[in-house]
């Protein structure tokens, strides 16, 4: 039985990152059915049933493990924007097991810096609260928006790490993926080199 409690896990100046509520599901399904959103995520719009299953799975993982994909709510008007969070991939590759930072936002939330803002606090949660040594992210080469977010949050790519996603059909233009990494050491160095907050 899925718990749709909407527990706030992390806050930013503009956003709440929380577990999913049941009233998020219609907006989440609309997001997952938008061809622009799923263009680089397999290319096919998701059914309402599958979309609901993902949200239920995300809440279940968070309840069991304390990490997971979190609903993103805009603080000033309560709008549901999508998800951002940490998750372990279900497939096997040279770099697994690992933890990925990922995001999926509705098109009208693009271009406002929400993915970057939320991903940064997800990284901080992973490194500070969960003690992770490294966090990864990946996408198809053509997904320049997501790649820009990865670079803005301090992740770097070595082309030697690029891989063919095992869950994407051979011959699909979406099979090849670029891999970005961020180590705890690099994250700490970047944070310490940043502007200091007044105490």
What φ, ψ does residue 103 adopt, rounded to 5°?
A: -155, 155
Token pair of 14, please?
Answer: 């503009």
In a domain, 197, yes or no: no
HSE-up of residue 101 (Cα within 13 Å, Cβ side): 29
Confidence at 194, pLDDT banded by 50, 70, 90 = low
CATH of the domain at 107: 3.40.630.30
Taking the C-alpha atoms of residue 85 and residue 70, their distance in angstroms, rounded to an integer, is 5
Categorize the per-residue pLDDT at 193 as very low, low, confident or very high, splitting at 50, 70 and 90: low
Q: Is the pTM of this model over 0.85?
A: yes
1 located within any domain: no
Angle 47-53-57 (CA atoms, 0-180°, nearest 5)? 150
Residue 165: inside a domain, yes or no?
A: yes
Mean pLDDT of the chain: 94
- Structural domain for 116, as ranges: 8-192
Of 46, 50, 55, residue with least CA distance to 4: 55
pLDDT digits (tens, 9 = 90+) for 173-189: 999 999 999 999 999 99
Report whether pLDDT(87) > 70.
yes
The total domain count for the chain is 1
* CA distance linking residue 106 with residue 112, whole number of Å: 11
Q: Report yes or no on 108 lying in a domain.
A: yes
Neighbours of 132 (CB within 10 A): 19
Cβ burial 35-66 (10 Å sphere, 16+ → b, else e)? eebbebbeeebbeeeebbebbbbbbebbeeee
pLDDT tens-digit readout, 24-46:
999 999 999 999 999 999 889 99
């Amino acid at each position: 039985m899925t718990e749709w409690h909407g527990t706030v896990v992390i806050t930013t100046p503009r956003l709440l990152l929380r577990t999913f509520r049941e009233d998020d599901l219609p907006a989440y399904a609309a997001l997952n059915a938008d061809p622009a959103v799923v263009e680089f995520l397999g290319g096919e719009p998701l059914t309402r049933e599958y979309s609901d299953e993902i949200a239920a799975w995300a809440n279940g993982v968070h309840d069991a493990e304390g990490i997971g994909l979190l609903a993103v709510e805009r603080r000033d008007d309560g709008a549901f924007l999508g998800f951002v969070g940490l998750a372990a991939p279900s497939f096997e590759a040279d770099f697994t097991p690992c933890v990925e930072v990922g995001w999926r936002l509705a098109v009208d939330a693009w271009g406002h810096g929400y993915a970057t803002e939320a991903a940064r606090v997800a990284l901080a949660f992973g490194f500070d609260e969960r003690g992770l040594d490294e966090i990864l992210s990946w996408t198809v080469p053509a997904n320049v928006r997501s790649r820009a977010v990865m670079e803005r949050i301090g992740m770097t790519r070595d082309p030697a790490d690029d891989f063919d996603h095992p869950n994407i059909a051979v011959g699909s233009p979406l099979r090849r993926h670029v891999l970005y990494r961020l180590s705890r050491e690099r994250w700490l160095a970047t944070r310490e080199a940043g502007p200091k907050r007044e105490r």
